[in-house]
């Protein structure tokens, strides 16, 4: 069930759009903000609130790179693998992010602390290679300082 807070936040978004369906991405992001991911149960609750079919909402959910339909760790590490970062060492950065966090690529570390995922261009190519941890952008990263960066995220 959606919490009162989640419901309130989703309903506040409704004032910005003429249809309920238009709120669906915001709604999924709100739930994800609170719970880390969007479960089948959450999907059903959101669909009911927005008067959408569950399948249509799942179609939207799975369209996006950043709506998580499986649980993720406490911190999500996104390593850019697009062209400039790739030229300047993104593959090594990704491997080191997995090694330092204990998370296999595309999955979560056994202690539940980190999920490491590849991501498309983060729009900071003059400082490549770059990665994001949660909401923070880290630029000019070398494999050697990945461990130090990750230490800041308990």
Enumerate binding residues for other proteins (CB under 8 A): 16-19, 21-26, 28-29, 50, 52, 59-60, 63-67, 81-84, 86-88, 119-128, 132, 135, 137
CB 50, min distance to other proteins, A: 8
- Cβ closer to other proteins: 60 or 149? 60
- Cβ closer to other proteins: 102 or 153? 153
CB 137, min distance to other proteins, A: 8
Backbone region of residue 82 per phi and psi (left: phi > 0; alpha: psi in -120 to 50; beta: other values): beta
Q: What are phi and psi of 119, to 5 degrees?
A: -140, 155
For the chain, how many helices (H) and strands (E)? 7, 4
CB 59, min distance to other proteins, A: 5
- Cβ closer to other proteins: 37 or 112? 37
- Cβ closer to other proteins: 93 or 128? 128
- Assigned token pair, 25: 């991405």
- Assigned token pair, 134: 């949660």
- Spatial strand order in the sheet of 114-119: 114-119, 75-80, 131-133, 136-138
């Amino acid at each position: 069930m959606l919490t009162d807070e989640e419901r309130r936040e989703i309903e506040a978004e409704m004032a910005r759009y003429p249809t309920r369906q238009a709120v669906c991405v915001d709604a999924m992001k709100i739930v994800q903000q609170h719970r880390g991911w969007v479960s089948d149960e959450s999907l059903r609750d959101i669909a009911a609130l927005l008067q959408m079919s569950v399948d249509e909402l799942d179609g939207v959910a799975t369209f996006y790179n950043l709506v998580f339909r499986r649980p993720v760790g406490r911190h999500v590490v996104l390593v850019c693998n697009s062209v400039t970062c790739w030229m300047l060492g993104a593959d090594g950065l990704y491997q080191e992010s997995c090694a330092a966090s204990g998370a296999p690529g595309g999955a979560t570390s056994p202690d539940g602390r980190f999920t490491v995922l590849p991501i498309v261009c983060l729009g900071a190519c003059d400082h490549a290679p770059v990665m994001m941890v949660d909401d923070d952008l880290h630029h000019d990263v070398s494999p050697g300082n990945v461990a130090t960066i990750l230490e800041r995220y308990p």
